[in-house]
A and B are shown apart, each in its own frame.
Chain A
Amino acid sequence: MTRLTPTAEMTLGPFFPREFAQGANELFSGKDSIQITGRVTELDGKPLDNVVIEIWQADAQGRYDNPQFFGWGRAATDANGVYTFRTLKPGSVEGRSPHINFLVLYSGLMRQLQTTMFFERVADPVLDLVKNRERLVAKREGTVYRFDLRLRGDGETPFFDD
């Protein structure tokens, strides 16, 4: 039986086209929309420009295959290291607490980094596996959820091995 080895991942490099990164960070704009924003930093806290962040989430009822809501988006950080999404708060799925999967691609990252943003610090079978789990919980200010990503160093974001 055929079993192929997945192609090796390699870094996105510093020149990911700007036009690829733009125009895909609004998943939902109606009433009840929320904003998710944060700063991406490297060792020593320096903010990173043109980091590509992709997200995948369920709809408000916890469905990933709702034809009326497309739960995928992409944003790139600006020169201050800041990214922004506009979307809706997902429902819970299969006993998981509401969450959004994040994927980080960048120059100097030889493989994609996978993490997950939670809305509250509650029991969750995946969040419970993580040390420093408060770093995966967004800080809420009204309808804005702040989720910073520290790739390495003090306050490093926990990432998953898939």
Chain B
Amino acid sequence: MSWIVEPRDPRTQSEGVVAGYAHTARRWPSQPLVARPHGAGELSGPAQLERRLPPSPADLAGRGANRALGQLIHLRARVVDEDGAPVPGALVEIWHCNSAGRYLHPNDSSDSPPDPNFRGNARLVAGDSGLVELRTIKPAAYAVPDTDGWWRPPHIHFSVWGRVWLSRLVTQMFFPGDPLNESDAILNAVRDPEARARCIARFVPTVPGPENALVYEYQLVVRGRKAAPRMP
């Protein structure tokens, strides 16, 4: 199978330098990015990446006496390509902070308490329908240090591989209805309102959800689609 990756509408993507997010002006290149033709290296990619990056359990919340604090949620994320075709076998990495706004990471200097029962991250392999499912707790909002009152809304980080090298996607998922979504510098770096809305999960009002968790669905669209067959 051969794939093509076409240019994106920049309005549907984050800007490089973002007002209110000081690091971006120190790290995003000042020179224009160089357009290049795509060859074998860009349009191929690692198959069965789990050979190098082993998967982990699909549960960050734990059970019984070892259950993490916070609202249980059940996340269903589907990986599809630009044709809308599922990407079976896609590797998906997920991480987020605990229900007090603290990450399981040595660089998090927040004074929010750690939660010894919260596992912090998972690496999953998508099934035949491109779906990964994760049992976890809803992350909290937290204040970003050294800023003028910037609070991150609750969000979940995703790192995803698609069909080819250029399909790589790192993004964040937000929760519907959170007032902090309106002012978050990262979410609002996407100018197109529809593209921004697609970064917000859909709440699924099931009665009851799996193990009484609130269910959220999310779609991750990775770059690339099937190349048209060559004319004979």
**Contacting residues, chain A, for B179 (C-beta < 8 A):** none
Q: Is A123 among interface residues, defined by CB-CB distance under 8 A?
A: no
Q: Is B126 among interface residues, defined by CB-CB distance under 8 A?
A: no
Alpha-carbon distance between A126 and B9 when the two chains are bound, in angstroms: 23
The one of B28, B95, B221 in contact with A108, judged by C-beta atoms closer than 8 angstroms, is B28
CB distance from A52 to the nearest CB of B (A): 9
**Contacting residues, chain A, for B195 (C-beta < 8 A):** 5, 8
Closest to A57 in B: B41
Q: Are A6 and B222 in contact (CB under 8 A)?
A: yes
Alpha-carbon distance between A112 and B13 when the two chains are bound, in angstroms: 11
The 0/1 profile, CB within 8 Å of B marked 1, for residues 53-66 of chain A is 01011100000110
CB distance from A74 to the nearest CB of B (A): 8
Stretch at the interface among B130-138, B162-170, B203-211: B162-170
CB distance from B220 to the nearest CB of A (A): 5
Total B residues in contact with A, Cβ cutoff 8 Å: 78
**Contacting residues, chain B, for A72 (C-beta < 8 A):** 45-46, 49, 52
Q: Is A16 among interface residues, defined by CB-CB distance under 8 A?
A: yes
CB distance from B187 to the nearest CB of A (A): 8
Alpha-carbon distance between A19 and B186 when the two chains are bound, in angstroms: 25
Q: Are A108 and B24 in contact (CB under 8 A)?
A: yes
**Contacting residues, chain A, for B168 (C-beta < 8 A):** 54, 103, 112
**Contacting residues, chain A, for B5 (C-beta < 8 A):** 162
- Given A14-B107, A43-B27, A108-B21, decide whether A2 and B37 contact each other with a Cβ distance below 8 A: no
- Given A11-B186, A110-B16, decide whether A161 and B34 contact each other with a Cβ distance below 8 A: yes
Q: Is B76 among interface residues, defined by CB-CB distance under 8 A?
A: no
B residues with CB within 8 A of A: 5, 8-9, 12-16, 18, 21, 23-42, 44-47, 49, 51-53, 80-84, 93, 95, 97, 103-108, 120-121, 123, 157, 159, 165-166, 168-172, 186-187, 189-190, 195-196, 198-199, 219-223, 225
Known: A5-B12, A43-B27. 19 other contacts (CB 8 A): A4-B82, A9-B14, A11-B14, A12-B170, A15-B103, A15-B107, A16-B95, A20-B121, A42-B27, A54-B168, A56-B46, A70-B52, A110-B16, A110-B28, A111-B16, A112-B170, A156-B31, A160-B35, A162-B5
